[in-house]
Structure 1
Amino acid sequence: MWRVQIRRPVLDAIAAGTVTCAFRRWDRPRVRVGGSQRTQIGVLEFTSVDPVEASDLTLEDARAAGFADLAALQEAQRGDGQLYRVGLRLAGPDPRVALRAKRRLSQAERAEIDTRLARMDRSSPHGPWTAAVLQLIAENPGVRAPDLAARMGRETLPFKRDVRKLKELGLTESLEVGYRLSPRGRAYRRG
């Protein structure tokens, strides 16, 4: 999945409703209308994806994208590829936040997690990994991903992809540095 990179101050402005679009240069659209992306502030929805010419940009475009003036917007859009105006809005909170906050699991929830983790272990090219990674994170909260990966004898990027799979299940959460088990992850490990 392709992601639109958006800095935190711009995300905050989107949440406040003062930024409603972004401009990107691509060889083809990388997002679609109605698509979404999880961010630090919640889920963003892409409300439009329209090709535009840099010469047609206006002060209104600049302000909608969080720029002080038209010159700043135009300077930021130099480069190759077609320029696109991407409409954005905050669609709501990241559903993983509520999921990972759960401190108690029903038998059905636990069985579903067991099934999903077993499937991940079976399909992994490097063998079963889910229990080991959960234990490693539980024992080493806040430790950098490259250090955790090295402890398992793994490359950093594939390790981080695996941790993201656990995050999708609400079992882990990212910290400023490293990870920790979420309340749901701790409840799962307690059995």
Structure 2
Amino acid sequence: MLIRRPVLDAIAAGTVTCAFRRWSAPRVRPGTMLRTAVGVLEIVSVEPVAASRLTAADARSAGYATLAALRAENARREGTLYRVTLRPAGPDPRIALRESADLSADDRAALTARLARMDRRTPWTAAVLALIAEHPGVRAPDLAARLGRETAPFKRDVRKLKELGLTESLEVGYRLSPRGRAYLHPPG
């Protein structure tokens, strides 16, 4: 579920508590945790709602200035209209993970084993980590092209490295996190 940054900021501030989406079937379920730029959000409920029953209060709770704006936004899409209630659920755990640069021998061994599993079919992790280390802040399509890869699969792979705390996204491109630098360049 994509949520624009101004809306994410409003959710974090507590002024937005729901979103409205048109889907053929719900794409999120209650209890789902979404990692976002403002931290983790929890999906509290997902309920179908008739557009005719929306109110000005619904619009405000979703961050729209007017009911007309909420209706116009959702009129452009097909499917059932759902009210998705959400709330902040804490910081993104990947932030603390990527900042943890003091790797023990066990940490290093676990990362090495995990990367080896990821490389089982086609080795790629070392090349992607080295490329990001050499070219921080470079657009994903440009990095992917340097490896002769399609952009979408490349970005998926970078997200896998981000899950391990080895990389972090920038406004444009990526860089190695402190954990990633410590893994690639062990002391001594």
Matches within 5 A, 1:138-153: 138-153=133-148
Deviation readout 1:56-83 (Å, 9 max, x if unpaired): 1011111111111212211112032100
Matches within 5 A, 1:1-191: 4-78=1-75, 79-122=77-120, 124=121, 127-191=122-186
List alignment gaps of at least 5 residues for structure 1. none
Determine helix, strand or coil for the equivalent of 1:143: coil
Structure 2: distance between partners of 1:69 and 1:148: 42
Structure 1: distance between partners of 2:115 and 2:91: 25
The normalised TM-score by structure 2 is 0.96
- Count of residue correspondences: 185
The normalised TM-score by structure 1 is 0.94
Deviation at 1:99, TM superposition (A): 0.2
Structure 1: distance between partners of 2:148 and 2:173: 17
Structure 2: distance between partners of 1:70 and 1:175: 35
Deviation at 1:128, TM superposition (A): 0.6
Deviation at 1:146, TM superposition (A): 1.1
Determine helix, strand or coil for the equivalent of 1:92: coil
Deviation at 1:149, TM superposition (A): 1.0
Deviation at 1:90, TM superposition (A): 0.8
Determine helix, strand or coil for the equivalent of 2:89: strand
Structure 1: distance between partners of 2:63 and 2:114: 41
Runs of 4+, deviation exceeding 2 Å: none
Deviation at 1:7, TM superposition (A): 0.8
Aligned Cα root-mean-square deviation (Å): 0.8
Determine helix, strand or coil for the equivalent of 1:89: strand
Determine helix, strand or coil for the equivalent of 2:82: strand
Q: What residue identity is the alignment partner of 1:24?
A: R
Determine helix, strand or coil for the equivalent of 1:176: coil
